[in-house]
Amino acid sequence: MAVHSINPFLISLFFTFFVLSSHTLFSICTALESEVEDETPFTYVEGTGKGPREWGKINPDWQVCGRGKLQSPIDLLDQRVQVISNLGKLKRDYQPAKATVKNRGHDVTVTWKEDAGKININGTYFKLLQCHWHSPSEHTFNGTRYNLELHVIHQSSNRTTAVIGITYKYGRPDPFLAKLLSHISSIGKEEKDLGIVNPGDIKFGSRKYYRYIGSLTVPPCTEGVIWTIVKKVRTVSREQVHALRNVVHDGFEANARPTQQLEGRPILLYNPVVNRGS
b/e burial code for range 221-254 (CB count within 10 A of at least 16 → b): bbbbbbbbbbbebbbbbeebbebbbebbbebbee
Closest CA to 65 of 270, 210, 257: 257
106 has catalytic annotation:
yes
**Residue 186 CB neighbours (<10 A):** 11
According to DSSP, the β-strands at 140-141 and 75-76 are: parallel
Give the Å distances, CA to CA, from 225 to 27, 211, 216, 230: 12, 10, 7, 16
Amino acid 46 reads E
Catalytic one of 4, 23, 106, 242: 106
Instruction: Answer whether 133's CB lies under 8 Å from 236's CB.
Output: no
Residue positions annotated with a catalytic role: 106
